[in-house]
A and B are shown apart, each in its own frame.
Chain A
Amino acid sequence: MNATHPPLNTLSRRRFLTATGMIGAGAVLSACGGGSNAPGAQPESGGGGASGYDGPDVELAFWNGFTGGDGPVMQKLVDTFNAEHPNITVKMTVMEWADYYAKIPSAVSSGNGPDVGIMHLDSVPTNAARNVIVPLDDVADALGLQKSDFAEIVWDAGVYEGQRFGIPLDVHPLGFFYNKTVMESAGLDPENPPMDHDSYMAALEQLKSAGIEGHWMSPHPFTGGQTLQSLIWQFGGQLFSDDGTEATWHEEPGVKALTWMVDAIKTGYSPTDVGQDADAIALQNGKTAFNWNGIWHINTLKEVPNLDWGVAPLPNIGGEQAAWAGSHNFVLPKQRTPDENRLTAARVFINWVSQQSLAWAEGGQVPARNSVRESAEFEALPEQSTLAEQVDYLRFPPPIPGIDDAFADFDQALNEAVLLTKEPAQALSDAAERANKKLEENRKKYGE
């Protein structure tokens, strides 16, 4: 999630050739003749992974950025998969997301791209447009996946120019974390956190009179940027116009949202100059009561001894229910020399993990599949299922390539306003002006 993790961990798993594997190896010779695809052509193979893989032994490279508590959970899934599929060995490599997104295109262009990857929903269109990943409509078909299986917004966002490039694995929304001990010490009911504007403000006021700055406003993308995005939607606004050609975060709802954050500082509900991660640490240390943070924070808080905390969906501050979320998606990086067997095996792997998304939920995520999300087993994960209530009103940026470039400007506006160096309205409109130029350049670049 941030720079505190080592840049590269190779989690490799040694597996011995099993008897079946030896038999599979014998099949290599007979399978050699086929599958001479021209570079660039993307064969749809193996019935999209539903019919399994019975070819020779293959080793698949699987890259992702699960450097946090989610890494070991995914590794466990990979281990189980390897044990169940003797002729497929998946080797998982974990690196920082930022490194991952810079590395994967160059790996693909040099012919060393992984067989399977994970990408955030908002990065899928960019990578599709840049030929880093290939369509996998066939996998979706083979899995029998339909719109109705998923939260609609997640499902639709994986499509770029009429083709599907991502199979949703999870959604990870922002949630409302609260320190029960601190709430109690200020005379608030820790079992009944404030969920609307008026009660939230009243709670902050009560905390203030108890000498506690109740909600630390972060000037950084984590978690301030996600908070501001959620608030803009709550106030009825949008970050971008529907066609994604213009930033609209500087319109009235955006100004209201950012002003609400800045006013919290001016009123004394938040200190000034909150550092990266300081808001989250303050909650753990009992210096603040509320923190809007990502669902991945559940596992972090569970590890803090003697911390009495709770989590709820985001309070409705602006009048409309909304919350920021990201989503991890399976993608198939482009191969310079596609190998029929590996392509099939990769699809088998995606198919299999997609059905195990309950196990993945234990890593602190909300499964993308409705059936899993609504299952009794998932309901038994109290924190995750609480945050899953938000799934119907989550939002994602419009699926256009290069949209992430604009967020640098959005984050800068947040930073300037929350650090009190610029007025919210001014900061937002300056940022929108800069972002619009980038969006225009991107339209030219990606030929829209």
Chain B
Amino acid sequence: MASSPPRIRRYAPWTPYAFMAPFLLIFLTFVGFPAVMGLWISLHDWDYMLEAKPFVGFDNYLVLFDSSSAAFEMFWNGMRATGIFTVASVPFLVAIPLALAVLLNRRFKGRTFFRAVFFMPYVLGVAVVGLLFRFILDPNIGIVNGLTGWSIPWITAQPWAWISLVAMTVWWTLGFNTVIYIAGLQDIPTELYDAAKVDGASAWQQFRHVTLPGMRMVMIFVVTITVLASANMFGQADLVTNGGPGDSTRTALMVFLDEGLGAFRMGSAAAMSYLLAVVLGLVSIINVLAMRERRRPKWRS
């Protein structure tokens, strides 16, 4: 009678799968299947209205590296625009909400009001924000130049167009990251701050050695989704600058849309999207690797 009592199974073996099934179904329908289908499309000269969808192998990908092709300049200009916007907007979208979150996490009168105020622009749709800024920033009839007496070409010349797009995006979306940060701040045990104070840490030292390390996972999350959101920028440039001046703010997504649903070269558009997806995947991996905890050396798992 030395054997252990038989294990009592409290659930059927398929229970976890049953719980996951609804999501899995949605995932496969709206992500899994389209992703595989997109890969298939990218290997063809694909227009869904035409009978002939000739198989072209990797041609759709290769032309993106052939500077004499029609797609080359369009695609890389789009990638460059997306890159510029991402690099210019992510630091602000990571840093400003963090500062705001620290402020809004303090106790003061009207805190809830200010939290709401900073979050409020985020609930507006991109069409509302875009149209609003198009008229606010219009160089000749806009209210900004009208009130200040400046004649700054906010949306029709570089670098102003980028400055405007980044600034309006920061104003519009910083509430979201702020909320995530506030939730993260509330998870840091107050004992750590108490201990730091006992050790004589200044406010900056508390921020640097308690707040930031405590927020590491939140930061990884925020940076990753902010990079992805910025790389998917579309509506602002479409509505405010319409890709201009020239094609300097025509982002990758605008190029894909024109190629796939404007010119109906869906194979080419799919190939472009996959290339962007690969780049974003790499960026995300680098981001996680760079920000993960360094205390534990890699070789000691």
Residues of chain A whose beta carbon lies under 8 Å from any beta carbon of chain B: 3-4, 7, 102, 105-106, 108-109, 130-132, 216, 219-220, 271-276, 278, 281-282, 285, 287, 402, 404-405, 408, 412, 415-416, 419, 421-422, 434, 437-438, 440-441, 445, 447
Give the Cβ gap from A232 to chain B, nearest Cβ, in Å: 20
Give the Cβ gap from A1 to chain B, nearest Cβ, in Å: 14
Contact A4 B50 (CB under 8 A): no
For A272, the chain B residues whose CB sits under 8 A away are 139, 153, 156
For B293, the chain A residues whose CB sits under 8 A away are none
Range, interface on chain B = 35 or more
Contact B157 A405 (CB under 8 A): no
A274 to B155, CA, bound (A): 10
Most-contacted residue by chain A among B155, B239, B247 (CB, 10 A): B247
The closest CB in chain B to the CB of A408 belongs to: B258
Of B50, B52, B141, B242, which is within 8 A of A282 by CB? B141
Can you name 6 A-B residue pairings with CB atoms under 8 Å? A105-B48, A273-B157, A275-B138, A276-B134, A278-B141, A437-B70
Of A106, A109, A273, A434, which is within 8 A of B70 by CB? A434
A-B contact sample (18 more), CB < 8 A, given A220-B242, A272-B153 = A3-B239, A102-B261, A106-B48, A108-B49, A272-B156, A273-B139, A273-B155, A273-B157, A275-B138, A285-B141, A402-B263, A404-B262, A405-B263, A412-B246, A419-B244, A434-B70, A434-B74, A437-B69
The closest CB in chain A to the CB of B73 belongs to: A434
Contact A419 B246 (CB under 8 A): yes
Contact B138 A278 (CB under 8 A): yes
A7 to B247, CA, bound (A): 25
For B156, the chain A residues whose CB sits under 8 A away are 219, 272-275, 419
For A437, the chain B residues whose CB sits under 8 A away are 69-70
Of A7, A109, A404, A415, which is within 8 A of B48 by CB? A109
The closest CB in chain A to the CB of B139 belongs to: A273
Of A132, A220, A402, which is within 8 A of B49 by CB? A132
Give the Cβ gap from B279 to chain A, nearest Cβ, in Å: 24
The closest CB in chain B to the CB of A271 belongs to: B140
Render B64-75 as a binary contact track against A, CB cut-off 8 A, 1 for contact.
000001100110
Contact B245 A416 (CB under 8 A): yes
For B242, the chain A residues whose CB sits under 8 A away are 220, 276
For B176, the chain A residues whose CB sits under 8 A away are none
The closest CB in chain B to the CB of A102 belongs to: B261
The closest CB in chain B to the CB of A270 belongs to: B140
Give the Cβ gap from A100 to chain B, nearest Cβ, in Å: 12
Give the Cβ gap from A240 to chain B, nearest Cβ, in Å: 16
For A216, the chain B residues whose CB sits under 8 A away are 140
Contact A130 B264 (CB under 8 A): yes
Contact A105 B141 (CB under 8 A): no
The closest CB in chain A to the CB of B68 belongs to: A437
Give the Cβ gap from B72 to chain A, nearest Cβ, in Å: 9
Render B119-142 as a binary contact track against A, CB cut-off 8 A, 1 for contact.
000000001001100100011111
For A220, the chain B residues whose CB sits under 8 A away are 242, 244
The closest CB in chain B to the CB of A419 belongs to: B245
Contact A412 B263 (CB under 8 A): no
Of B45, B50, B140, B153, which is within 8 A of A130 by CB? B50
Of B47, B69, B153, which is within 8 A of A445 by CB? B47
For B153, the chain A residues whose CB sits under 8 A away are 272-273
Most-contacted residue by chain A among B141, B258, B261 (CB, 10 A): B141
A92 to B157, CA, bound (A): 41
Contact B262 A131 (CB under 8 A): no
For B155, the chain A residues whose CB sits under 8 A away are 273, 275
A132 to B264, CA, bound (A): 13
Contact B258 A219 (CB under 8 A): no
A220 to B242, CA, bound (A): 9
A404 to B258, CA, bound (A): 11
Contact A275 B141 (CB under 8 A): yes
Known contacts A219-B244, A282-B140; A130 and B47 CB within 8 A of each other = yes
Of A274, A404, A440, which is within 8 A of B140 by CB? A274
For B139, the chain A residues whose CB sits under 8 A away are 271-275, 278
Chain B residues 28-47 with CB under 8 Å of chain A are 45, 47
For B45, the chain A residues whose CB sits under 8 A away are 445
Contact A281 B50 (CB under 8 A): no
The closest CB in chain A to the CB of B152 belongs to: A273
A131 to B258, CA, bound (A): 20
The closest CB in chain B to the CB of A288 belongs to: B140
For B247, the chain A residues whose CB sits under 8 A away are 412
Chain B residues 87-129 with CB under 8 Å of chain A are 127
